[in-house]
Amino acid sequence: MINFKEELNNEQFEAVTKGDGPVLVLAGAGSGKTRTLTYRVAYLVEQGVDPENILLVTFTNKASSEMLERVEKILNRYPRGIWGGTFHRIGNRLLRKYATLLGYKNNFTILDREDSMVLLKQCYDELANKNEKSNYFPKAKIIHNLIGFARNRGMDLKDLMGKSYDYLSSQEIDLAQSISEYYARKKKDSNAMDFDDLLINWLKLLTGHSKVREKFQEQFKYILVDEYQDTNVIQDKIINILAVKNKNILVVGDDSQSIYSFRAAEISNILDFPQNFPKTKIHKLETNYRSTPEILELANQSILNNENKYPKNLKSIKSENKKPLFVVGRDNREQAKFISQEISRLIDQGESPQEIAVLFRSAFQALELELELNREGIPYTMRGGIKFFEQKHIKDIVSYLKVLSNFKDETAWRRVLMLHEGIGLQTAGKIFSQIKNFNILEDAIKLLEFKGSEKINNSLKNVLSIFKELVEIKEDVIQSSVKIILKNGYNLYLKTNFENFLERADDLNQMGAFSENYKSVDDFLSEVALTEAFKNNRNQSNVVQVEDGEKDKIILSTIHQAKGLEWNTVFVIGLVDGQFPHRKVYEKHSEIEEERRLFYVAVTRAKDKLYLTYPMVSSRSEDMNEVSTFIEELDESLFEKKGRNEESFDDLPVIEYE
């Protein structure tokens, strides 16, 4: 017999043993939600529930297998027959049996993301080439992502595109819809489903076929769902249908950690759960095993201003420690120097590098820090994205600058030319073979004549006109160059090719501001080249455990990629209003609340030491930054403030945590 009372804390015990009926388990950060779920499964099996009557839904296959392994250890036997896995895995299992009811054969192919993209591209090429469209009609990759987002949100694609791409004509929006419909037919004709189809067809199976619906409503007497705050509309509907008969549904999640709306996650699923299931019992896991009391006190207050939430108050089991540090530096460069020095000090004192993480809202916020770490020889790995100067849009703009610096740079010329419509690899090579015959860029701009199609000639004319503007710049060359390139079509190029075009434009503007640290374009490009030499540090892994490539390296990560992870020491950097929270969120109340949840996630990653940093001015200018709303909302008694103040730009002193 398992002694549940002894092996669980009181909060976990209540959730595990009193989990019949509809139950919402609000599991705060570091409160042991996985332990609670696994013991709940073990409890059900020990109480005599047939494992085949248990449905355990997780968001990763790894999480599912780990939970079931833990259940096996608790029970001393494997719970054979349990339905455990991700929504997609379970959907596939059901559809393999009942696909014929939806017009598929049971041996249907599952298209992974790459395969589905290839098929969508075929549809795109066939239809888009036959229809009138502007040069800035979204590329196939964007259409693919928009189709997926709309389907998972239960939205109409045309409505979504009308909001996101308001510059498109009604004919172009109709074209996008036609591509989507053609793609759906192609999949069906090929007896294939993509990942979205596994969910949507599972829902169709339940809503359109009563015998199947009733069979699984009866079979799944107990339903458990992990990370419910991350479910989308389709997943929520599936669960609601399956649970309607027995109503033994237990969902675990934390509304304060709902940060994936851009992936179609819907926070209302967890917020409205008690309304969807009357008589819901709510259990709160508020005992935190991760962070110090001081960190948790700050975290608790950080989320108070959110209106749409369940009230929670995390309590630490750890003894009291030092308060978090709020560090004010003059600018991003000084911020980077402080962090680099502090990391070196911590490592010298015995902290493992892989137990130190620097978290940021957007990639550009880590730019100066990456450079500083490279200068100081501190190994690091990047999670959640490519290092700043390795990103495509950064390389694009840098290529323009390389041409300005070195007129004979063939690689840079090719990259610039191929950004423009109609110019491919071969054409770019032919154009450059003429360009290299000139002595200076100005002569090429004035005298170059290339015999190509009208489309190619117009594109080349645009390229040369951009360079004409660029060579006339006398001051703030890089910053002004970025603005000129964006203005002359690259902004639309970003919007056409990338979903996160706003963030990428921010990156470029930040790079322009950062360039003020350098006396010349050549100095700046030299820094970029030296930074690229550190590519071997890159690790874009998103797994929880430390990878071999991350040993003895500190972690740089977006906050989104840091969810579910923890480190002894955490730096949350760039706490500037307009950056974190992002300026776009003030347009919508729900978005500022999600940004606040993002801040909450960031600070709750820290176990022992938490640093919050704020650069007072932008680069070397005297334009003052406003401190993040999220810092302003905190009582100053919750942290120790170090560094500069508004009245003084004295040198930043050495700051020690102890």
**According to the model, what pLDDT value does residue 527 have?**
66
Residue 444 is which amino acid?
A
Task: Inform me whether the pLDDT recorded for 377 exceeds 70.
Answer: yes
Task: Inform me whether the pLDDT recorded for 499 exceeds 90.
Answer: no
What gap in Å lies between CA 573 and CA 555, rounded to an integer?
A: 13
What gap in Å lies between CA 366 and CA 359, rounded to an integer?
A: 9
**According to the model, what pLDDT value does residue 284 have?**
96
Residue 604 is which amino acid?
T
The stretch 508-521 carries a mean pLDDT of: 75
> In this prediction, what percent of the chain has a pLDDT beyond 70?
92
Least confident of 30-34, 285-289, 324-328, 456-460: 456-460
What gap in Å lies between CA 531 and CA 536, rounded to an integer?
A: 11
| Spatial CA neighbour of 423 closest among 393, 444, 454, 396 | 454
618 three-class SS: coil
Residue 65 is which amino acid?
S
The set of catalytic residues is 33-34, 226-227, 257, 605
For helices 157-164 and 140-153, the axis angle rounded to 10 degrees is: 120
What gap in Å lies between CA 530 and CA 389, rounded to an integer?
A: 10
Q: What are phi and psi of 282, to 5 degrees?
A: -110, 120
Residue 40 is which amino acid?
R
Cβ atoms within 10 Å, residue 189: 8
What gap in Å lies between CA 416 and CA 427, rounded to an integer?
A: 12
The stretch 219-224 carries a mean pLDDT of: 96
Report yes or no: 541 and 550 within 8 Å, Cβ to Cβ: yes
Residue where the block lists tokens 């000129």: 484
What gap in Å lies between CA 408 and CA 406, rounded to an integer?
A: 5
Tokens representing 449 are 């004549």
Q: Is the dihedral of CA 158, 162, 164, 169 positive or negative?
A: positive
Residue-averaged pLDDT of the chain: 87
Taking 3-state DSSP, the helix, strand and coil percentages for the chain, each rounded to the nearest 5, stand at 55, 15, 30
Task: Inform me whether the pLDDT recorded for 182 exceeds 70.
Answer: yes
Q: How do residues 124-153 score in pLDDT, each as one tens digit?
A: 988 987 777 777 788 899 999 999 999 999
**According to the model, what pLDDT value does residue 630 have?**
96
Cβ neighbours of residue 360 under 8 Å, at least 6 residues apart? 366, 556, 557, 558, 559, 572, 573, 574, 580
**According to the model, what pLDDT value does residue 617 have?**
84
How far is CA 472 from each of CA 65, 442, 467, 468, 484, rounded to the nearest angstrom? 62, 10, 9, 7, 11
What gap in Å lies between CA 652 and CA 29, rounded to an integer?
A: 34
Tokens representing 315 are 């309590």
Least confident of 285-289, 543-547, 622-626, 641-645: 543-547
Q: How do residues 90-102 score in pLDDT, each as one tens digit?
A: 999 999 899 999 9
How far is CA 586 from each of CA 592, 629, 633, 650, rounded to the nearest angstrom? 6, 11, 16, 34
Residue 392 pLDDT class (50, 70, 90 cuts):
confident
**According to the model, what pLDDT value does residue 537 have?**
34
What gap in Å lies between CA 94 and CA 205, rounded to an integer?
A: 9
Cβ neighbours of residue 264 under 8 Å, at least 6 residues apart? 149, 152, 153, 232, 233
Report yes or no: 395 and 411 within 8 Å, Cβ to Cβ: no
Q: Angle CA(109)–CA(114)–CA(120) in degrees, nearest 5?
A: 80
Report yes or no: 102 and 201 within 8 Å, Cβ to Cβ: yes
Question: pLDDT: is 615 or 586 the higher one?
Answer: 615
